[in-house]
Amino acid sequence: MKLLDFILLMAAPLLGGFAAMLFKTKNREHYKLVLSFSGAFLFSITLIHLFPVVFANSHYAGIYVLAGFFIQIFLEQLTHGIEHGHFHDHRENNTYVFALLLGLTLHSFLDGIPLSSHEMLDDDHHSLLYGISIHKIPEGFALVSVLIFSNYKKLTVLTMLLLFSLVAPLAVLFANQLSMANTELFSILVAMAVGSFLHVSTTILFESESGQHLFGWKKITVILLGAGIALLTI
Ligand SMILES: [Zn+2]
Ligand SMILES: [Zn+2]
């Protein structure tokens, strides 16, 4: 990744976080549509650009993808779904906020791994970077919303947001080193990140207000749009 790519990856959660500070979340429906779009886009990018490399690389890739999926289920117990943009607008206690930051940091670390510039993942179109960055906008938004609702001071919220925005870029740097030092471990981590993406991106697709799998045409339209734009990146 070039410097500009790092800036983009860092700017995405900051953008979402600032948006959460500026606007109170009155327009729930629009927010949900943005979430659905980001989920569909990340899901499609994962299938189109990551699946082929991951499965071409290892006979056991499926097991690691599955492991990543279940790790994400565990992380979601800590974060209550912040990483797919889900949050509740009421005060949270300190224990939850600590668990949230821990779970979100681990998740964000996985986010950065497949963005390493290893030859196995060479991607001229930057589509994966866009997919992950787009998904990090609602992540930042949800994080800041929870912290604001929990009455944290503005400076504290900003500091946490800033630290959070650094995790994925740092993970990329770490993955760059790791991919040279230990290719096998690196490809396992990439497969696990793919499992995590599958979980995060599909959860938001199947989550709906009614609790049933009834979507409505607006949601179906943005999902198709997300998948369609991802298809353009081939
Ligand atoms: Zn959720
Ligand atoms: Zn993420």
Taking only the tens place, the pLDDT of each residue in 77-98 is 999 988 888 887 778 888 888 9
The pLDDT value given to residue 41: 94
Nearest-ligand number for the alpha carbon of 107: 2
Between the CA of residue 44 and those of 23, 49, 76, what are the distances in Å?
A: 29, 8, 21
The residue type of 211 is: G
Distance 9 CA to ligand 1 centre (A): 23
> Please, are residues 113 and 171 in contact by the beta-carbon 8 Å criterion?
yes
Taking only the tens place, the pLDDT of each residue in 101-155 is 999 999 999 999 999 877 777 666 688 899 999 999 999 999 999 999 899 999 9
Q: Is the pLDDT of residue 166 over 90?
A: yes
The pLDDT value given to residue 31: 82
Nearest-ligand number for the alpha carbon of 76: 1
Per-residue confidence at 178, pLDDT binned at 50, 70, 90? very high
Domain locations in the chain as residue ranges: 3-231
Q: Is the pLDDT of residue 195 over 70?
A: yes
> Please, are residues 222 and 33 in contact by the beta-carbon 8 Å criterion?
yes
The pLDDT value given to residue 2: 86
Mean pLDDT: which of 13-17, 18-22, 50-54, 200-204 is highest?
Answer: 13-17
The pLDDT value given to residue 211: 59
The pLDDT value given to residue 42: 94
Considering only residues 16 and 1, tell me which one the structure prediction assigns the higher pLDDT.
16
The fraction of the chain above a pLDDT of 70, given in percent, is 93
The pLDDT value given to residue 191: 95
Distance 83 CA to ligand 2 centre (A): 5
Tell me how far apart the alpha carbons of residues 75 and 93 are, in angstroms, rounded to a whole number.
18
Considering only residues 234 and 187, tell me which one the structure prediction assigns the higher pLDDT.
187
The pLDDT value given to residue 204: 85
Per-residue confidence at 209, pLDDT binned at 50, 70, 90? low
Mean pLDDT, residues 217-221 taken together: 87
The pLDDT value given to residue 214: 66
Per-residue confidence at 54, pLDDT binned at 50, 70, 90? very high
- HEC-encoded secondary structure of 136-150: HHHHHHHHHHHHHHC
Nearest-ligand number for the alpha carbon of 36: 1
Structural tokens at position 100: 């949230």
Distance 84 CA to ligand 1 centre (A): 6
Distance 19 CA to ligand 2 centre (A): 17
Tell me how far apart the alpha carbons of residues 218 and 27 are, in angstroms, rounded to a whole number.
15
